[in-house]
Chain A
Amino acid sequence: MTSYSKEVIADLVAGTLPWPQTRRIMSAYKDDDRFFKYVAVLQDRVGWKDPILLPVGDHLFICQSGDERVTKCECGHSFGDYRKNWKLKAAIIVRDSEESLREIYPNSDLPDPDWMEIREFICPECGTLHEVEAAAPGYPIVHDFEPDLEGLYRDWLGKPLVSSNKGG
């Protein structure tokens, strides 16, 4: 069975593993012990102790925070119950003018702000840009991901989660 060291997984996640090695990992059979090593690597990276249950973005994690399961930014900021859309608790910058779109698209033709806007969802504490939506004005904010957390641990990882009072 394929397996890699925690150091290799850490480098892979950080994008620092040399390309030939990354390429071999991509081409090889997948390592079945990846998930918990990956979570361990991320747990080392974050500066807080709440156990990570599931990464849901580049710097966003569902974690066990006391009795609750919440979505947390890498900086420790909590966006609340993981079953709710974390974006609703974020800060936002909306680019809906030629001037603000031009900041990101310096030399191309721009979308028509009457038809499309860029929405940036930002951590209100550390300022990390977590997600960008390109949407028509008036389009509801998307709830990107509602994981079946219990099902993943129980049926696929074979390690059922200890039940939680809230956010279960």
Chain B
Amino acid sequence: MLDKPASALRIRERLLESERLMEETGCYDGITELHLRNQDPLKFETLHTKLRAYCVSAREMARRISASPGVREVGEMVVAIYTPEGDAIALSNGIMVHVHTMSRFIKWMIRNGYEENPRIRDGDIFANNDAFIGTVQVPDVMDVVPIFHSGKLVGWAGAVCHELEAGGITPGGDVALAQERFTEGLFVCAEKVGENDELRRDYVIRCERNLRMPIYWVLDEKAKVASCIDMRESVKGLIDEIGLDYWMQVSKEFIEEGRRAQLARTRQLTVPGIYRGHTFYGHVTKGKPGYQPLGDPDWLYNMPIEMEITSDGKIIMDFEGTQPWGYHSMNCTPAGMDGGMFVTLTQHMNFEGLVNDGAWMATELKLPAGTWTNPDNEMVATATSWALLLPAYGVFQRLLSRSFIARGFVEEAFVGQVNSPMIEMGGQSQYGTPFGMAHFECAAAGSGALAIKDGLDTAYVGWNPESDMGNIEIWEQNMPMLYIGRSIVPNSGGAGKYRGGCSFLSTWLVSKTDHLRLVTSEHSSRVFDNGGLCGGYPAPTCQKHRAVRDSNIFELAENGAPLAHHTGTNPYRSELEVRLEGEHVTLEGPYITAPHKTGDVFTHSYNGGGGYGDVLERDPVKTAWDVENGFLTKEAAEGIFGIVLDEDEEGFPVANIEATKRHRADMRAKRLARARPVSEWIAKERERVKAADFAPEVKKMYASAIKLSPRFTRDFSTFWDVDAKSTFGVE
């Protein structure tokens, strides 16, 4: 088809044609043969490598233009090159979740007649952060520019940054308090924000007047535009070399090859069949200031996932049975769900070969209408959709991992991602100016364990494979708080033969301000929002907030007395309570409260990952090392893992292998004595189910799932041998 000129169709018709061809042939854009690849595989691979290099270098350049520590320090950015129809051909590293959300944004403009009005012309810049058009949450602002060659639209270049401030009802980007779209902040809805490669002055003014900290957003816009122009010019140069017809064909073959590679990888690494798992999320806001009484304040979310791997290698994920959308900021759009799938696949399966939208095309998401995964109301807020997305895709990672274990690729099995509790802030900065910022050190949680080793400590998040917590000094430049501690939390990884990676906790002294608003989100209350695998336990992910108002810390410092640098390991009396005087606060759920001021102390803890395998098989020598380095306590080593530690002459822990064997034999015997047959437990538990003897939020969870899902109703009724509907009073 090399003689076929760049399509003369208008782009909207071209998009529909492309979709029709995919429908008819099962191959991307009707590409049933990879002619160019077969003709000259070396040229084919080299070209894709070049495109990827354009993306990586454009992103690195842009990071140096950006003013935001989110982009500069922790790399909250991704860029990609698209076909004219908006399918990703090549992408950079970074927050890859957005490669496919941007694809949705481009297609949305095409479908909505942007060719006629506002027109798509060379030099135009389009921006979007509307999740129903194509992003995850309001701070994920994307910019795309069309690529024209010889007067024809031949592709798009796009870039996304996660903004640290979005101008919502609470400061930061993950606007925790947003209960509807109208409180989420500044929306740019597939808007033409620039022409002739320049951002419009009126757009910049709108940003400057609607954000608490416009410098982040505005300079990030410039960084994104620069990276898009850079990629555009590189692609145009490449087309000059290889010819327009070759480009139009090869870009599609790249995607079709990506699709085929994903299917082949699934057949190579996994086992066909049905996989199931679930996790939960507790949303507790009762009595918190600022919440409007639009719905129930407290909610328990169940997130069941059924994954099918078909014999041709397609992965289908089904969220049937989960909860409805709500008046909170944790809803997610199909675009966000796509993004979560995409970033997980690129990390777990698509780690070689051509990483692009082809991988996404080899999968299918079933998102029941009306649930948080696919709200049937476009007024809902999605500012903290990660709160539910991360736990859900952690389940996906565990389901995939079971397939890797079954197939023998144990080195790829991974207990998965956990939630990223985020702290955001605003008010008066240490410089006496208004400010607002999301603190992104949450980009370094503990990872789930692997099937062959412990998880990564403070070094992984699902949404950005290039995890980084950023330097303390940089964060301190951007907020009126000083670090008095940043420490590993002992026992914060899920227990197991291989433990989950540990999390860390930061302790700050509020400094040089009398008005600091602190807000947190994405941490589950009352329930674990992660899990273990093959006998491993979930990590402890239902942490509360601890703070001290009007502390005597300056007095202590003056006297050279010890300060609190972390919360310690006593769950009933924290180090803050031991060391500091003042008004001690312990709060569950989102931290939404009156402003803080100089002299207050605040702590925030992140999440560790889930464990793998039976705790009684954990390596005693590694455990001694863990205790020595603060990842586990001696008490946990003995009490949970059955590992007896002695001390050497210098006081370092050493495993006592013989005593460990004896202790473990005893623990195993006690375990067996304590356990009872599952059938017995089911019989007894059934009485409780029949009586619906549960907390109100648990009952509400069941009623909501039953109302929305025939399958959940059927499964529940069958398992307990009850009528689920009448049990929970559902009509």
Chain A positions within 8 Å of B, measured between CB atoms, are 9, 12-13, 15, 17, 19, 22, 25-26, 29-30, 32, 34-35, 37-39, 54-59, 87-94, 102-112, 114-116, 118, 120-122, 124, 126-149, 151-152, 155-156
Contacts and interface: CB of A to CB of B under 8 A. Distances in A.
B147 interface: no
Interface in B691-731: 694-695, 697-698, 701-702, 715-716, 719-720
B406 A56 contact: yes
B639 A103 contact: yes
Name which of A94, A110, A115, A143 has the most chain B CB atoms within 10 A of its CB.
Answer: A115
Given A12-B411, A39-B408, A111-B528, A138 B675 contact: no
Q: Identify the interface centre among A19, A131, A135, A140: most chain B CB within 10 Å of its CB.
A: A140
Given A111-B528, A145-B275, A137 B698 contact: yes
B526 A32 contact: no
Contacts of B300: 115, 136
A108 B491 contact: yes
B163 to A, nearest CB: 31
A57 B273 contact: no
B694 A138 contact: yes
A146 to B, nearest CB: 4
Given A132-B535, A155-B311, A112 B672 contact: no
Interface in B128-155: none
A141 B679 CA distance: 11
Given A128-B614, A138-B685, A140-B715, A148 B534 contact: no
B676 interface: yes
29 contacts: A12-B410, A15-B453, A17-B452, A19-B453, A22-B453, A25-B411, A30-B409, A37-B408, A55-B405, A87-B678, A88-B678, A93-B675, A106-B491, A107-B570, A108-B491, A108-B543, A110-B540, A112-B527, A115-B695, A132-B532, A132-B538, A136-B694, A141-B719, A142-B277, A143-B276, A144-B275, A144-B276, A148-B311, A152-B273
Given A109-B544, A151-B311, A91 B676 contact: yes
A127 B406 contact: no
A30 B266 CA distance: 12
Contacts of B681: 92, 94
A105 B408 contact: no
Contacts of A122: 671-672, 675
Given A58-B451, A137-B694, A148-B273, A124 B672 contact: yes
Given A57-B405, A88-B679, A122-B671, A115 B534 contact: no
Interface string B530-571: 111111111010111000000000000000000000001111
B302 interface: yes
Interface string B267-279: 1110111111111
Nearest to B266: A156
A53 B279 CA distance: 29
- Residue of B408, B633, B682, B719 ringed by the most chain A CB atoms within 10 A: B408
B536 A132 contact: yes
A116 B273 contact: no
B528 A116 contact: yes
Interface in B458-506: 489-492, 495, 497-498
Contacts of B701: 136
A109 to B, nearest CB: 5
Contact of B267 (A57, A112, A116, A156): A156
Contact of A136 (B527, B672, B715): B527
A38 B408 contact: yes
Contacts of A108: 489, 491-492, 540, 542-543, 571
A111 B497 CA distance: 23
Given A112-B526, A147-B406, A89 B678 contact: yes
Nearest to A105: B540
Contacts of A148: 271-273, 311
A87 B534 CA distance: 12
A87 B636 CA distance: 27
A109 B608 CA distance: 13
Contact of A12 (B452, B490, B677): B452
A156 B409 CA distance: 15
A58 B280 contact: no
B161 interface: no
A115 B302 CA distance: 11
A79 to B, nearest CB: 10
B282 interface: yes
A138 B698 contact: yes
Contact of B671 (A93, A109, A131, A137): A93
Given A116-B528, A129-B616, A141 B678 contact: yes
Of the listed residues A13, A90, A108, A140, the one surrounded by the most CB atoms of chain B closer than 10 A to its CB is A108
B406 A55 contact: yes
B495 to A, nearest CB: 6
A107 B282 contact: no
Contacts of B408: 9, 34-35, 37-39, 55
B452 A13 contact: yes
B613 A91 contact: no
B501 to A, nearest CB: 15
Interface in B77-126: none
B289 to A, nearest CB: 22
Given A115-B527, A116-B528, 8 more contacts: A56-B406, A58-B612, A58-B614, A106-B640, A122-B672, A127-B675, A137-B688, A140-B719
A106 B635 contact: yes
B536 A121 contact: no
B352 interface: yes
Given A9-B408, A56-B402, A121 B272 contact: no
Contacts of B640: 103-104, 106
Contacts of B568: 107
A138 B702 contact: yes
B527 A116 contact: yes
A168 B536 CA distance: 31
A149 B453 CA distance: 28
Contacts of A151: 272-273, 311
A153 to B, nearest CB: 10
Contacts of A131: 533-535
A94 B402 CA distance: 23
Which of B410, B540, B678 neighbours the largest number of chain A CB atoms within 10 Å of its CB? B678
B272 A152 contact: yes
A91 B672 CA distance: 8
Contact of A127 (B276, B495, B668): B668
Most-contacted residue by chain A among B273, B302, B588, B685 (CB, 10 A): B273
A39 B405 CA distance: 11
B689 interface: yes
A110 B569 contact: no
A103 B497 CA distance: 17
B276 A92 contact: no
A146 B719 CA distance: 17
A129 B675 CA distance: 11
Given A134-B528, A137-B688, A34 B407 contact: yes
